[in-house]
């Protein structure tokens, strides 16, 4: 099916929702600040601090398990320094998105969704490191937000989504294909429709749009390939939305693997089996991270 048709359909489905969450006020002020050419890091940190929930999330996300070995980051300012100016925008948007969908359990609960998402973020970062992709933070954040369309569908189109999940239960059918069949579009297009409304930067929109079709990417195909592979690995190693779909793959046939090997030929030698076993060991860390991001933050 034509991608333009799918995107149009997705935009219609998003437009239909009148109470679509908007970016929380402090986050949008942060984004405004970031547009000022001479903004100081201090100013941004102070703004974030006016929202305690946002501040706590920023710190927790930056302190993901991968960083713990060095020094734990305890202040918003240090978190921003660590992350670098160029990533504050995505981080603010990601936090806003978490906030916007907090407690909005639909066809699946939001925690399971974020466990998969943060899992993909962390695995994307690991792959990025191994492939010597320059911006590992970008891989992490892009991994976290790649599936935002899913949480929208699960909540706003709960009944239909439930039906789809029921249909593919214990059959070897990919969720994305089932969505296409049912709606004529899928969570990638829904996700990008939302991301554009929220003004996510273009590379991130591309990851959301193409993470199931990495060969379509033009802005940063390597980033899309990294997130695609991270998604595949998480889907077979217990960060799989609680086993809602049955994913099976052979790396040799994956387009993302070809893209990545062209970019980083040494990846061809990756011990994939060991890589999987190491990921198994990381699952509890991912679950702890997600729990900590939501802990004490239940909305009154």
Contacting positions for other proteins (CB under 8 A): 170-172, 232-233, 235-238, 240, 243, 246-252, 271-274, 276-277, 280-281
The secondary structure of 103-118 as a DSSP string is T---SS-HHHHHHHHH
Comparison of 206 and 240: residue with beta carbon closer to other proteins = 240
Comparison of 70 and 171: residue with beta carbon closer to other proteins = 171
Comparison of 25 and 272: residue with beta carbon closer to other proteins = 272
Comparison of 9 and 282: residue with beta carbon closer to other proteins = 282
Round to whole Å and give the CA distance between 151 and 110: 7
CB neighbours of residue 159 within 10 Å: 8
CB of 228 to other proteins, least distance (A): 14
* Both tokens assigned to 92: 């603010």
Round to whole Å and give the CA distance between 287 and 112: 9
CB of 112 to other proteins, least distance (A): 15
Comparison of 160 and 285: residue with beta carbon closer to other proteins = 285
CB of 80 to other proteins, least distance (A): 32
CB of 203 to other proteins, least distance (A): 27
Tell the residue number behind the tokens 């929220």, with chain if given. Answer: 198
Q: Tell the burial category of 53 from Cβ atoms under 10 Å away from its Cβ (0-12, 13-18, 19+).
A: middle
CB of 138 to other proteins, least distance (A): 26
CB of 261 to other proteins, least distance (A): 15
CB of 280 to other proteins, least distance (A): 6
Q: Give the CA count within 13 Å in the CB-facing half-sphere of 217.
A: 29
Comparison of 70 and 170: residue with beta carbon closer to other proteins = 170
| Contacts for 8 with CB less than 8 Å, ≥ 6 apart | none
Q: Are 283 and 237 in contact (CB under 8 A)?
A: yes
Comparison of 85 and 277: residue with beta carbon closer to other proteins = 277
C-alpha separations of 59 from 28, 31, 121 in Å: 18, 18, 16
C-alpha separations of 29 from 40, 47, 58 in Å: 14, 8, 15
CB of 186 to other proteins, least distance (A): 21
Comparison of 166 and 171: residue with beta carbon closer to other proteins = 171
Q: Are 14 and 193 in contact (CB under 8 A)?
A: yes
Q: Are 92 and 31 in contact (CB under 8 A)?
A: yes
86, 61, 217, 67: which is closest to 144 by C-alpha? 61
């Amino acid at each position: 099916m034509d991608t333009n048709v799918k995107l149009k359909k997705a935009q219609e489905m998003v437009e239909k929702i009148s109470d679509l969450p908007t970016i929380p006020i402090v986050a949008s002020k942060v984004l405004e600040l970031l547009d000022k050419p001479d903004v100081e890091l201090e100013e941004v940190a102070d703004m974030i601090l006016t929202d305690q929930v946002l501040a706590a999330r920023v710190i927790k996300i930056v302190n993901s398990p991968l960083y713990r070995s060095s020094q734990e980051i305890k202040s918003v300012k240090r978190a921003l320094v660590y992350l670098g100016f160029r990533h504050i925008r995505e981080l603010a948007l990601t936090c806003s998105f978490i906030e916007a969908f907090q407690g909005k359990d639909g066809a699946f609960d939001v925690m399971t969704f974020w466990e998969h998402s943060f899992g993909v973020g962390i695995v994307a970062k690991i792959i990025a490191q191994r492939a010597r992709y320059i911006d590992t933070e970008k891989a992490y954040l892009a991994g976290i937000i790649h599936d935002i369309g899913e949480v929208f569908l699960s909540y706003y189109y709960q009944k239909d989504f439930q039906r789809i999940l029921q249909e593919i239960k214990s059959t070897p059918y990919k969720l994305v294909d089932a969505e296409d069949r049912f709606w004529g579009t899928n969570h990638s297009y829904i996700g990008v429709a939302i991301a554009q409304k929220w003004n996510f930067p273009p590379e991130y929109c591309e990851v959301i749009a193409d993470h199931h079709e990495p060969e379509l990417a033009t802005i940063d195909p390597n980033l899309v390939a990294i997130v695609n592979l991270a998604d595949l690995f998480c889907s077979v190693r217990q960060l799989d939305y609680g086993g809602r779909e049955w994913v099976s793959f052979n790396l040799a046939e994956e387009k993302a693997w070809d893209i990545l090997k062209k970019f980083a030929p040494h990846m061809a030698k990756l011990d994939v089996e060991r890589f999987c076993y190491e990921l198994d060991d990381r699952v509890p860390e991912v679950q702890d991270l997600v729990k900590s991001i939501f802990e004490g933050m239940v909305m009154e």
